[in-house]
Amino acid sequence: MIDVRDLSENPDAYRGSQRARGADASVVDAIIAADAARRNAITTYEALRAEQNAYGRKVAQAKGAEKQALLAEVKELSGRVKSTSAQAEAAAAAQDALVRGMANLIADGVPEGGEDDFVVLRTVGTPRDFTAEGFTPKDHLEIGELIGAIDMERGAKVSGSRFYFLKGVGARLELALLQLAMDQAIDAGFVPMITPTLVRPETMAGTGFDVKHDAEIYRLAEDDLYLVGTSEVALAGYHGDEILDFSNGPLRYAGWSSCYRREAGSHGKDTRGIIRVHQFNKVEMFTYTTVEEAAAEHQRLLAWEEEMLAKVELPYRVIDTAAGDLGQSASRKFDCEAWVPTQDAYRELTSTSNCTTYQARRLNIRERATAETGVKEGKGATRAVATLNGTLATTRWIVAILEHHQNPDGSVNVPAALRKYVGGLEVFPVL
């Protein structure tokens, strides 16, 4: 949720952010008008309440006909107070709806445009030249079937399209990836977390997801619970309605969870294999920190993602995502995309987003105001914290690992960093 005070003081920045996202800039003026209406309604209500209190004192002192006349006036005034109270509540609700529907203010330097308007920040490593090596690469599903790692046919039989079984070395590879990611996160000071995969609607909405209109989200109607698409949701809600202490630095959590997405609108896209599926596993980094530290923390999360990609020996590029392709809560997002040989393209493996105070305002997560924060409010004042998230490993990584590390016969060389997690295996052999 955006800061209405900041929006009112800097409306041009928010209008520019909306235009860069390809969104409606007029919502900025609508919020300003709604805020004015809310303030006016509250002022009118408070003035009438003060008048009502004054009449109460007059009634207590009056007698006879004067008292009866005052009581009649009090009754009429009471009706006006009730009416203005309802008007104030309605004005606040109208403003809240506008504010909650508006996306976060983008950071300075974020590229304008949509999905294809990203900026490549750097390219790391070199894709393999399979032509020079003398063979045509197999795709990850063919390899997965050859080494007994992936079973899409039985996944569809049991659960439907875009479901799968990982088995044998496939299951071991995913566990190895997630454990490597968790070990790295722990070494970096993250607290390991196994998170709930079902959350309440207020938690889902508090993270920035539109629970009423987002077709990606699975909902259990009978229980009014939602399946998460990332452990970011549960981790963001973990400190809801709390005041945090950053005296020892940021609070960092690494969540291990299964994730669920409908993949609505992806009909015909990535239907082969496990690139775009309904259920997958992931280790997600999540940080709570100060507003001043958020941009630097964003770079740290990106560096940890790149460290993981280096460990599994994949060529990749880092992109600065364009404004129109950002999620509602993100102020800036960097993606790491690994080279997938049979697609002749880079595909996203990680993303890290700086959500500034957007999620914290919705979830009421604060820190104490201090002289260092520059907050000039009174003793005991608080301010919203910043939240950030970043992928450290997920099921999709298997696609790039199998294809990049394949041999002519379909066997797969195991990256050195993963070998201790798969019993010392150096190669996943063809069965």
Q: Rounded distance, CA 208 to CA 192, Å?
A: 23
**Per-residue model confidence (pLDDT) at position 264:** 72
Give the global pTM: 0.91
Residue 229 confidence (pLDDT) above 90:
yes
User: What integer pLDDT is reported at residue 50 of this predicted model?
Assistant: 76
* Strands 165-166 vs 191-194: parallel, antiparallel or unpaired: unpaired
Active site residues: 261, 276, 348, 351, 396
Q: For 151-210, where are the alpha helices, taking DSSP H only?
A: 152-159, 169-187, 201-207
Q: Is the pLDDT of residue 301 over 90?
A: yes
As a dihedral over the C-alpha atoms of residue 316, residue 333, residue 269, residue 212, rounded to 10 degrees, the angle is: 160
Nearest to 32 by CA among 98, 90, 93: 98
pLDDT per position as a tens digit, 326-356: 999 999 999 999 999 999 999 999 999 999 9
- DSSP state at residue 107: P
Give the per-residue pLDDT at 215: 85
What's the token pair of residue 52?
Answer: 């009502």
Task: Kindly tell me the burial class for residue 50, based on how many C-beta atoms sit within 10 Å of its own C-beta (0-12, 13-18, 19 or more).
Answer: exposed
DSSP 45: H
| Domains of the chain (ranges, CATH numbers) | 4-101 (1.10.287.40), 119-428 (3.30.930.10)
What is residue 388's predicted lDDT score, i.e. its pLDDT?
Answer: 98
pLDDT score of 56 more than 70? no
| Phi, psi of 196, rounded to the nearest 5 degrees | -65, 145
pLDDT in tens, 384-427: 999 999 999 999 999 999 999 999 999 999 999 999 999 999 99
pLDDT per residue as tens digits for the range 304-327: 999 999 999 999 999 999 999 999
pLDDT tens track for 214-223: 888 999 999 9
pLDDT, the chain, mean: 91
Rounded distance between C-alpha atoms, residue 331 and residue 17, angstroms: 10
- Identify the band that residue 85 occupies on the pLDDT scale cut at 50, 70 and 90: confident
For residue 81, give both structure tokens.
């107070």
pLDDT > 80? residue 54: no
Helix or strand holding residue 198 (H, E): strand 198-199
